[in-house]
Amino acid sequence: MTWSDVTTGPIDPAAVLKRVGEPRDGAAALFVGMVRNSNEGRPVDGMEYEGYRDMARDQLAAIAAEAAQQAGSDRVAVVHRLGELAVGEVSVAIAVSSPHRAEAFRAARYVIEEIKKRLPIWKRERYLDGEQAWLEGHLPVTGVKDNR
């Protein structure tokens, strides 16, 4: 069964990994995204993730379901964090288990790539020099046709 969440609390990757895996599985892939200490040569002090929590939860559940269908495994777990994070803190954790490693890796990769494209969560970096900047992202998929 797929599981997804958007939280303001710390993420424990081991707990996410425990949500997947069955005796028939020969592989489990775990992806952990963390706040890094630099971006494009600029020292980073931390990061803020802001978003529409309910919309993000719905979209994350859809992404997890799509990954499960592609992997032929319903054992997909993903959680994304909102709020202020320090360097080294976990911002996203994705776990997928399946009978074979290729499917687990492919599904985990699909989840993170779709998060980057579709999740209504935005990042603002804080730099050591005191400046802050919102990072360029993508507009979330809404299902509404843009007639511009």
Whether residue 15 is predicted with pLDDT greater than 50 in this model: the reply is yes
Q: For residue 12, give its domain range.
A: 3-36+53-121
Whether residue 147 is predicted with pLDDT greater than 80 in this model: the reply is no
Determine, yes or no, domain membership for 91: yes
Whether residue 5 is predicted with pLDDT greater than 80 in this model: the reply is yes
Q: What is the pLDDT of residues 93-127, one digit of tens each?
A: 999 999 999 999 999 999 999 999 999 999 999 99
Q: What is the pLDDT of residues 26-83, one digit of tens each?
A: 999 999 999 999 999 999 999 999 999 999 999 999 999 999 999 899 999 999 999 9
Whole-number Å distance between alpha carbons of 92 and 13: 9
At 63, give phi and psi (nearest 5°): -60, -45
Determine, yes or no, domain membership for 137: no
Determine, yes or no, domain membership for 81: yes
Q: Where are the alpha helices (DSSP H) in 31-84?
A: 53-71
Number of domains in the chain: 1
Determine, yes or no, domain membership for 139: no
- Nearest 10 degrees: CA dihedral of 64, 12, 23, 25? 50
